[in-house]
Amino acid sequence: MTTQQTKKNCEVIITGFGGQGIVLAGRILGMAAALGDHKESTLVQSYGPESRGGACCAQVIISADVIQYPYVTIADVLVCMSQSAYQKYKEQLAQDGILIIDQDLVQTDGKRECFAIPATRMAEELGRKMMANIIILGFTTAVSQLISRKAAEEAVQSSVPKGTESMNIKAFTKGYEYGLSKLKGREKKAEGKSGAVA
């Protein structure tokens, strides 16, 4: 899978249910791209009829050029934090796109590879279930390489409530490092396969 950095325009959908901090995750992603990495970015958010517990979606576009249309048509990266969100948006993911899920909350149909992280469980272990969105954002930063780690951390620090910055950076780091280990595991697997062929 090619890194999404090579594309001029990258379209991202982060989705789940209200109360998971979906829109905040989208805002941080867009802010990191614009302020930290000096790219163009847009954010469009949508909620279901009831905000907490209803469907929630953040659409982020990151580009080297001016963005003409702010809505995602085909997602390069799809991040799902609920089963209903996965069912609703899975068809919008590009054939070679990156699917990222909270593995305790989403069961995929197994038709494509995905990057899975127990984000909510990891947040609970940190004592803050509400930080699952920051963990999955760290994970997404590592596996997609859409934004730099430095830009992401700066955007996290300026976006979370005062006094929670260090906890949120800890959550981000946890997700980021988990993502790096997943990438490493995939590389080893690929090397093993190519070694078997040789």
Task: Report the alpha-carbon distance of residue 119 to residue 156 in Å, rounded.
Answer: 17
Task: Note the pTM of the prediction, 2 decimals.
Answer: 0.90
Pick the CATH number of 4-197 from 1.10.10.10, 3.40.50.450, 3.40.50.300, 3.40.920.10: 3.40.920.10
**pLDDT score for 6:** 44
**pLDDT score for 195:** 61
Under 8 Å CB-to-CB from 189, ≥6 apart: which residues? none
Task: Report the alpha-carbon distance of residue 159 to residue 106 in Å, rounded.
Answer: 27
SS3 letters for the chain?
Answer: CCCHHHCCEEEEEEEEECCCCHHHHHHHHHHHHHHHCCCEEEEEEEECCCCCCCEEEEEEEEECCCCCCCCCCCEEEEEECCHHHHHHHHHHEEEEEEEEEECCCCCCCCCCCCEEECHHHHHHHCCCHHHHHHHHHHHHHHHHCCCCHHHHHHHHHHHCCCCCHHHHHHHHHHHHHHHHHHHHHHHHHHHHHHHHHC
| 10-residue averages of pLDDT along the chain (198 residues) | 55 94 96 96 81 80 94 96 95 96 96 95 95 98 97 97 96 98 90 64
Q: What backbone phi and psi angles, to 5 degrees, belong to 84? A: -65, -35
Within its chain, how far is the Cα of 28 from the centroid?
Answer: 10
**pLDDT score for 48:** 65
120 contacts 6 by C-beta, under 8 angstroms: no
**pLDDT score for 191:** 84
Domain ranges of the chain: 4-197
88 contacts 56 by C-beta, under 8 angstroms: no
